Amino acid sequence: MSLPSMDPGRADGGLHVAEELSQEQCWELLRSKATGRFGFIEQGRVVILPVNYVVDGQSIYFRTTGDGSIAGAVPSPESTFQIDDSRADRSEGWSVLVSGASSRVEDEDLLTRLWGKVMAEPWAGGARNLFIRIQADRVSGRHVHLT
């Protein structure tokens, strides 16, 4: 399998191509990063916040505080999670978007497994002991690059 290349290449003004990424490529990219953005609705507006995350199965998990804006928006039947990378010097980039229900993780066995995974510490201050799960119902991605 081939992931989107970010190696130096042609930058002579050729035409751009947008290619859809396969499900396998999307999940490989999701597993390759540690920080993404969680999108949700708060008081009628879209809020997008950076989170450190881990992939387990077909779900994305991250930690937050139990009394913050994310905890107040979860559970939700529709949430969004996104990661990307770009190279402005090459007019190239890729993006993966995950949509699905989000919920608080309360299952003790799952919590034990999640706490045992290597995961970057949340950047925000304070105790971040609430795990949030995004069940991936839809996963899509695209890679834009020069031909």
Question: For residue 108, what pLDDT is reported?
Answer: 95
Q: What is the mean pLDDT of each run of 10 residues along the chain (147 residues)?
A: 55 74 97 96 93 95 94 94 94 96 96 88 84 97 91
H helices then E strands: how many in the chain?
Answer: 3, 8
Question: For residue 2, what pLDDT is reported?
Answer: 62
In eight-state DSSP terms, residue 107 is -
Nearest to 85 by CA among 41, 14, 21: 21
| Confidence (pTM) | 0.85
Tokens 């010097």 locate to 89
Give how far the C-alpha of residue 42 lies from the chain's centroid of Cα atoms, to the nearest Å.
19
Cα–Cα distance, 70 to 82 (Å, whole number): 16
Question: For residue 55, what pLDDT is reported?
Answer: 96
Neighbours of 105 (CB within 10 A): 16
The structural domains of the chain, ordered by start, are: 22-146 (2.30.110.10)
